Amino acid sequence: MIKFEHSIFALPFALTGALLAWRDAGFPREGLWIKLAWIVVAMVGARSVAMAFNRVLDADIDAQNPRTKARHLPAGLLSRGFAWGFIWFWSLVFAFAAGRLNPLCLLLAPVALGIVMLYSFTKRFTSLSHIVLGFALGIAPAAAWIAMRGSLDPRILWLTAAVTLWTAGFDIIYSCQDYEFDKEAGLFSLPRRLGIAGALWVSRALHVGMLLSLLALGASFGLGTLAWVGVAAVAALLAWEHRLVHADDLSRVDAAFFTMNGYVSVIFFVFWACDIFLARSL
């Protein structure tokens, strides 16, 4: 019901936000690894709630879509009761992890869950559902900053913007597969509204916006050469991703969606983490 790679998308960006907060605080050693561990637990909890809730809410729709009818709930491999129990369990895990981080994280935990669950409703009434999904992932680095510092620094919102635009861009690519089904089912998406070719141009524009946000983020924190190399690597991967998909050929959407975007988040984190740790050693 939940794929491991769904954690790969947002988690590296959340950890980047945490390391930027650690750098900004002067690299304190006390409590670093335990905070990072609770951030990972919280991320897995929120991801699990969001994905399971989406599967429950969309079970009837998924049963009608040839691409999704084999998913666990429409195929009868899992019951709705199990899925709801799964959602409640991981909601409690998320709240517990938030409480272990600091009081502000605990206070904001219901807001975070509300945001990540909201996306599941949006395809029923707006073509901007991709942006809502992006924001659901985009809050992760800001939340990680709050987890580390107990407050929010506006500079980290550049990373929220970057993740929001990046996620919305690749979700548009992925949703091109359901263009015909969305029309028949009356669901909303940019491919349905603009056509596949038009939606792919919007995806490209969003990914350019992501790169500009990363440049603004790096400049606002005064990061070093490795961080800029990381942005260049992300740009190259996104360019390759868009070469894989064309309006008349969607056969490589899965490669563009899972493989390339997994590389984007992990490679970005590796370069930025190395830049941060290098600054600590100087």
pLDDT at 259: 82
| CA distances for 226 relative to 155, 161, 213, 231, angstroms | 19, 21, 17, 9
pLDDT at 255: 74
- In degrees and rounded to multiples of 5, residue 141 shows phi and psi of -65, -35
pLDDT at 109: 98
pLDDT at 87: 97
Q: Which domain holds residue 246?
A: 5-281
**Could you tell me what percent of the chain has a pLDDT over 70?**
99
pLDDT at 191: 97
pLDDT at 142: 98
For residue 201, is it left (φ>0), alpha (ψ between -120 and 50) or beta? alpha
Residue-averaged pLDDT of the chain: 95
Cα separation, 108 vs 104, in Å, equals: 6
Smallest Cα–Cα separation from 246: which of 203, 211, 205?
A: 203
pLDDT tens digits for 226-260?
Answer: 999 999 999 999 999 999 999 999 999 887 777 88
pLDDT at 256: 74
Element (H, E) at 29: none
User: Is the pLDDT assigned to residue 272 strictly greater than 90?
Assistant: yes
Q: How many domains, in total, are found in the chain?
A: 1
User: Is the pLDDT assigned to residue 6 strictly greater than 80?
Assistant: no
pLDDT tens digits for 35-81?
Answer: 999 999 999 999 999 999 999 999 999 999 999 999 999 999 999 99
pLDDT at 281: 82
**26-41 mean pLDDT:** 95
Burial of 275 (C-beta count, 10 Å sphere; 0-12/13-18/19+): buried
Q: List Cβ neighbours of 110 (8 Å cut-off, separation of 6 or more).
A: none
CATH code of 235's domain: 1.10.357.140
Work out the angle between the directed axes of helices 5-24 and 129-149 (0-180°, nearest 10): 40
pLDDT tens digits for 183-207?
Answer: 999 999 999 999 999 999 999 999 9
Please state the separation of Cα 31 from the chain's center in Å. 26
